[in-house]
Amino acid sequence: MTASLIAGLSGVAMTDDERRFYRDVQPAGLILFARNVADRDQLKRLVEEARDAVGRNDFLVLIDQEGGRVQRLRPPIARSLPPAAVYAQCYAQDPERAKRAAFAVARLTGEELRAFGITMNCAPVADLPVDGSHEIISDRAYGSTVAEVVALAKAVAEGYLASGVVPVVKHIPGHGRATADSHLALPVVPTSRQTLSETDFAPFKALAGLPAAMTAHVVYSAIDAANPASTSAIVTREVIRGEIGFDNLLMSDDLSMKALSGPMRARAEAVIAAGSDLALHCNGDLDEMRAAAEGVPALDGRAAERFAAACSCIARIEPYDKEEALQLLAGLQGQQTPAV
């Protein structure tokens, strides 16, 4: 049975203990980071090792390859990618060209990822930053209005889908208003429910048909003052599944982030109890991974159906004009990156 867990690895090759963990636990997927990458051939071997360890076809291989600051694969292993804010800058001048570029660069990137066996990218970011918010989102956002974020994030997601890579929209229901970095602390957003609905939640509602989403470790005190969205059954039920209408594969943000507290098993139990289909653990610490695995069930019911639906996107690969895509990327790289 597949466990409701996405886990990491400690380095550039699987240890014997990690191989046994993946074989015995059967996690739904693996997430890769820069610590797992030495060169192109090594990365391919590592992904093949993990796939061999689980021995299943329905095994997702994830990465964060947004572009800009958040790009786990960099030259010479993969192309350098502009941050989302560059697309926003282009959108202000020529919206249609910006959307074409967003699609094309995602299509190019998806092709690169597939060459390594990577099948899921934790992008696009659909968070809507506001003045005074923490810089953790800043240039990772596709603009400052709902319309531009939706237009560009949708184009990016469609580019990944056309390459057979599953996009994961993040951080649902919205991280843009947070005044703290959830890697380091728990952000609390006191904004009213009405304002959140009109701003932060709106991009995700428009993108609710995408196959996967990642939750935010953010407290929305007007909805649930006691728990961040990732561990809040209220936020998951009333906002993510309810108001936003997202009924596809839902994973937590990283369990090892400092926004969460308590033992790792309890954190994993909490995100699943709140309504996430998968718990995500990223840092590659095997003891923590084992504890997280103890806190998650086997994929079953609607969660298993959502997982299968996301996996089915991998079979879809559409032709594209690669030369045009490279030209569009070069045009973006020629623009000045907005200040962070």
Active-site positions? 183, 253
Rounded Cα distance, 289 and 285, in Å: 6
Tokens 């959502």 -> residue? 306
Nearest to 142 by CA among 87, 102, 195, 94: 87
Rounded Cα distance, 125 and 112, in Å: 20
